[in-house]
Amino acid sequence: MAPLAVHLGVGGRVPAVDLQWILLIVGVAVVAAAAGFFLVGRGPSADEPTAPGDVLTEPRPDLPDRGDTLVAVPPDEEAPPVLEALPVVEAPPLKPSFRDRLTRARSTFSGYVGSILSRSAIDAESWEELEEALIRADVGVGPATELLDSVRATVKEQGLTQPAELIEAVKNEMKSRLAGSVELKRSNSPPSIWLFVGVNGVGKTTTIGKVGRRLTDEGTSVLMAAGDTFRAAAAEQLGTWAERCGAELVRGAEGADPSSVIFDGVAKAAAQNLDVVLADTAGRLHTKSNLMDELSKVRRVADKGEGSVVEVLLVLDATTGQNGLTQARQFTQAVEVTGVVLTKLDGSAKGGIVFAIASDLGIPVKLVGLGEGADDLIEFDAGAFVDALFEE
Ligand SMILES: Nc1nc2c(ncn2[C@@H]2O[C@H](COP(=O)(O)OP(=O)(O)OP(=O)(O)O)[C@@H](O)[C@H]2O)c(=O)[nH]1
């Protein structure tokens, strides 16, 4: 090797023979380090964070689960290609449930139920608390007394002594009083006409929108007839719902005769072979006899053409409590009401009105509004409703 002089620092010199040794040692060290890297495991240790692209056997709680299938790969197999991001599929909206939306109504009941359950036996106070809970929930004095009389008879007959048994007996009695068909009828000769009636602002137009959405989603063809010619914005509102769900719309000029608008709607639906006509009517005070007469006329005229009126749905606002019962009585006299739609139950502590309607008028509650959204309408389910009221 030719003698070389290498400068170290400012003035140091290293002899050529020493330099060869240094190069040899450095070379060996590099080779040893590289071998160590490959031998001492390639994956991260259990407590090291995983790098992107790593494959896991367990889902990572810190990552959204996209449903990808992840497979463990032995350390010396070649890693699979990184998974392509899957397209995000939107989940269908969850149906609202009584359980989630009846928090206000439940809050009326839960204190009483807790107190009754905390006792060691059924005593006089248990009955008093039950009665108070029912009246505060707007079941009404008459229906509450009737209901508790039946429960007393059951308690005696079956020799019940435990508070939990008492609560179960009350729930069963409530469920049996509310049981009934919630099915919305269809006419044998289409179109089926469903008329929506009620006082101002109870949610008629919104309910028609929600019902239209449900029907069109299941493949039923729908026409919405804007029979609320009194409030201009109502027809606009209905038009928006119709557009959103792909329903036909018939509307008249402001102040037009609502009977003729609905009649035209039925005629158009018949001409186009549509299945259901959802007919809106203006909100009216049940105490105004001329307006109630107008409603009787709407009902008669709607039935004159093809198809027939198979549902007259009285829309009631659950937050008005016992007043809803007075409305129901008056509307039933003007038009034969076939079912009730109870709206705004999501914001009401007065869910008990359901019992008052069932026992006083024998009209079934068929639909329930649990919010303002298009999907916030469900069929009335007596079992789920009563269970939700009593949940602690
Ligand atoms: N929280 C809640 N709000 C509702 C529900 N149903 C309707 N609403 C609201 O109630 C208000 C009145 O609804 P509308 O559909 O305009 O009532 P209407 O009966 O057609 O009114 P009029 O045409 O004036 O008689 C609106 O703000 C709706 O969003 C429900 O189930 N829950």
**Has residue 268 been placed in a domain?**
yes
Mutate to test the pocket of ligand 1, among 101, 202, 206 (most ligand atoms within 8 A of CB): 206
Rounded alpha-carbon distances, angstroms, from residue 254 to 227, 276, 313, 374: 10, 24, 24, 26
> Would you say the CB of residue 101 lies under 6 angstroms from ligand 1?
no
The β-bridge partners of 342 are 316, 368
Residues facing residue 361 across a β-bridge: none
pLDDT digits (tens, 9 = 90+) for 90-149: 555 567 887 778 777 777 788 899 999 999 999 999 999 999 999 888 888 888 999 999
339 phi and psi angles, rounded to 5 deg: -170, 165
pLDDT at 268 over 90: yes
Protein residue whose Cα sits closest to atom 4 of ligand 1: 372
Pick the residue whose CA is nearest to atom 7 on ligand 1: 203
How far does residue 207's CA lie from ligand 1's centre (Å)? 8
For the cut 90, the answer to whether the pLDDT of residue 70 exceeds it is: no
| Cβ contact 155:168 at 8 Å | no
Quote the pLDDT of residue 3: 39
ipTM: 0.97
The total number of structural domains that make up the chain = 1
Please tell me if the CB atom of residue 343 comes closer than 6 angstroms to any atom of ligand 1. yes
Closest ligand 1 atom, CA of 231? Answer: 23
Residue 7: strand, helix, or coil:
strand
Closest CA to 18 of 30, 28, 33, 8: 8
Instruction: Extract the runs of DSSP E, i.e. beta strands, from 228-327.
Output: 248-251, 276-281, 308-317
Q: Is 142 marked as binding a ligand?
A: no
Residue 136 marked ligand-binding: no
If you take atom 26 of ligand 1, which residue's CA is the nearest one? 203
- Mutational test site, ligand 1, from 340, 372, 375, max ligand atoms within 8 Å of CB: 372
Q: How far is the CA of 209 from the centre of ligand 1 (A)?
A: 11
pLDDT tens digits for range 170-198: 999 999 998 888 999 999 999 999 999 99
Which atom of ligand 1 lies at the shortest distance from residue 202's CA? 19
CA-based nearest residue to 389, from 130, 188, 26, 197:
130
Closest of 283, 291, 345 to residue 320, by C-alpha: 345
Residue 171 among known ligand-binding residues: no
| Higher pLDDT pick, 154 / 356 | 154
89 domain residue, yes or no: no
Cβ of residue 231 lying under 6 Å from some atom of ligand 1 = yes
Is the residue at 278 inside a domain? yes
At 75-85, the pLDDT tens digits run 455 555 555 66
Mean pLDDT, rounded, of the chain:
80
**Ligand 1 atom with minimal separation from the 228 CA:** 23
- Residue 332 annotated as binding site: no
Asked if residue 196 belongs to a domain, the reply is yes
Greatest distance between any 2 Cα atoms in the chain = 123
pLDDT of amino acid 78: 58
Closest to 343 in 3D by CA, of 370, 304, 324:
370
Do residues 205 and 237 make contact, with C-beta atoms less than 8 angstroms apart?
A: yes
Q: Are strands 276-281 and 192-197 parallel, antiparallel or unpaired?
A: parallel
Tokens 């027809």, residue? 235
**For residue 198, how many other CB atoms are within 10 A of its CB?**
27
Burial of residue 23 (number of CB atoms within 10 Å: 0-12, 13-18, 19+): exposed
Give me the CATH number covering residue 268.
3.40.50.300
Say if 383 falls within a structural domain. no
**How far is it, in rounded angstroms, from Cα 344 to Cα 359?**
21
Which comes out higher in pLDDT, residue 99 or 212?
Answer: 212
Question: Which atom of ligand 1 lies at the shortest distance from residue 199's CA?
Answer: 25
Report how far apart, in Å, the C-alpha atoms of 69 and of each of 10, 55, 110, 161 are.
62, 10, 44, 55
Report which protein residue has its CA nearest ligand 1's atom 14: 203
- Find out whether 281 is annotated in a ligand binding site: yes
pLDDT of residue 65: 38
The reply to whether 256 falls in a domain is: yes
Q: Residue 290 falls within a domain, yes or no?
A: yes
| 178 φψ region: left (φ > 0), alpha (ψ -120 to 50), beta (else) | alpha
Position in ligand 1 atom list of the atom nearest CA 208: 15
pLDDT at residue 93 in the model:
58
In a domain? residue 144: no
User: Measured in angstroms, how far is the CA atom of residue 123 from the centroid of ligand 1?
Assistant: 43
Per-residue pLDDT tens for 229-245? 888 889 999 999 999 99
The pLDDT value recorded for residue 34 is 47
Range of the domain at 236: 192-337
Can you give the pLDDT at residue 60?
25
